[in-house]
Chains A and B, each alone.
Chain A
Amino acid sequence: MRKAVLQYAAGPLIIFASVMNLLAQGPPINTDTPIMLGLEGSGIRAFAKFVRKATLLQDGKEIADALDRDVTVRITPLAVPYNLLSDRFQVGVVIPFMNIDLDSRLQDISSTGIGDVSIFAKYLLYQHDRKLETFRVGVKATIKLPSGDENTSPALGTGSTDYAFSMVAGWLKNRVGVYWEGIYSQNTSHGQTDFGNSFAYNLAFGYRLLPTVYETYPSPQLNGFLEINGTTAGRNKVNGEEIADSGGTTVFLSPGLQYVGGRRWLIEASFQYPAINEPNGTQLATDWTVSVGTRILIF
């Protein structure tokens, strides 16, 4: 019974984690930003994100997987934010196109389609500007809708409507940028499964590598990022009983590069390596993720 539940829950949770990560995309690559201007404002963002899970961990230690499971998630989310009325308020939608392959000794299964769509609203709460310096704080609310098919295997959605509230802050001065984000996700249930709530925390350090002195706008620009992206999730419950092999903590160390080529586009890439990988009980853990993406300003 427990294994069946796990198999049912594994797919949607992977997807959910991926989508929540995407919602955190901003000019730091995996962390959100309170700045909603220019390429951080009304534009299309598209990413190709690859998540690889093939290591079985038991209480944080690697063990042999009798089923030799290997999960690859390819997710291409399309995010369309739009600044409403002013550059202090933004609404948007994120539509993830998913492909999940689950290979094991028992069977090889695959699902492709649209995952759980999210809608969000972000508001700039505080802004303090000085010459070549800004500090801003924003709040964000996200609703994840059960649009992904939860009946396929692996499932493309969780089947639940979940709510996330986040606070995001950013400080930029000359060539340096520091961003912080905390996201609390109030997850609901589907069928007999209550999904555990989670808290995600992101910290990003950005540095403009080139040009050393930015004279006149627009000029090409190369930025380097080092991010820490962590998530701690509570255990799921089935019929009120906690599932030991669910939830846990993962903290990624994420270096990335971003090239701003002009007024209306940038390309970026990030690699995420789990510095802390402590899923509860026995679970397949994320080995790494790679994101390659672009943002195009259309409005």
Chain B
Amino acid sequence: MKRIFPWRTILASCSIALIISTVLLADQKRATVRVDGLSCPFCAFGLEKKLKAIAGVEKLEIKVNDGLAILNFADSAKIDEKLIAKKVKEAGFTPGEIKITSSKEKKMETNGQKISLNIKGMSCDRCVSRVTDALKKVDCVREVKVDLETGEATFVCTDANFDKTKFVQTINDLGFQAELENK
């Protein structure tokens, strides 16, 4: 009996492996560019138009309050930092630092649960520092942002089992009144 070498099976297996590895290794990239001068939100139309026109941009977010434009690129796209800076300039603004992050880093950044606290009683930058420092001392806490104007503190907690009421207690111990925001 003639033994047939299973070329077809091997080829099919290789193809499947290739597809799986491509999917697993797919590294969607993100460019975050600081846009200086972005103080009039109704001026941002041209910025949005110019940045969206860059090849490979799948999604664009303009975070006015942070002065940032976040460009999400397709897997295969090559990010040209000079081109991004040029487009920001053409839109009438001044480009600042451009940070490139991969999807893996993105995943690490966003791992965990985002938590928001409404805090009453903050009246100055010193209060903001105290709240920020207190939250940063909690082991699971990352990416703390405290807004004096809105009285909101947002951060990521990487421990899903952590008792959230402890955050409230931590802030209340400083003499403020905090409550968990339902999001």
Q: Are A and B genuine complex partners?
A: yes
Q: Which residues from chain A sit less than 8 Å from chain B, CB to CB? A: 27, 35-41, 86-88, 127, 129-134, 172-174, 177, 212-219, 221, 260, 263-264, 266, 297
* A221 touching B37, Cβ below 8 Å: no
Ranked nearest first, the 7 interchain pairs of A and B with the lowest CB-CB distance are: A129-B37, A37-B43, A129-B94, A87-B92, A129-B36, A134-B37, A38-B45
> Is B149's CB within 8 Å of the partner chain A?
yes
Q: Which residues from chain B sit less than 8 Å from chain A, CB to CB? A: 34, 36-48, 61-65, 67, 90-94, 96, 147, 149-150
Secondary structure at the B interface, as helix, strand, loop or mixed, is: mixed
Contacts of A88 in B (CB 8 A): 92
* Number of residue pairs A-B, CB distance < 8 angstroms: 100
**A173 and B92 alpha carbons, distance in the complex (Å):** 16
Contacts of A264 in B (CB 8 A): 45
Partner of B42, one of A131, A134, A221: A221
What are 29 A-to-B residue pairs whose CB atoms are below 8 Å? A35-B43, A37-B40, A37-B44, A37-B45, A37-B91, A37-B92, A38-B40, A38-B45, A40-B42, A40-B43, A41-B43, A41-B45, A127-B94, A129-B37, A129-B93, A130-B37, A131-B34, A132-B39, A132-B67, A133-B37, A133-B39, A134-B37, A134-B38, A134-B39, A173-B39, A212-B149, A214-B41, A260-B42, A263-B45
Partner of B40, one of A35, A87, A131: A35
Contacts of A177 in B (CB 8 A): 39-40
* B41 touching A218, Cβ below 8 Å: yes
* A37 touching B48, Cβ below 8 Å: no
* A41 touching B36, Cβ below 8 Å: no
Q: How far is the CB of B35 from chain A (nearest CB, A)?
A: 8
Q: How far is the CB of A57 from chain B (nearest CB, A)?
A: 39
Partner of B37, one of A127, A174, A215: A127
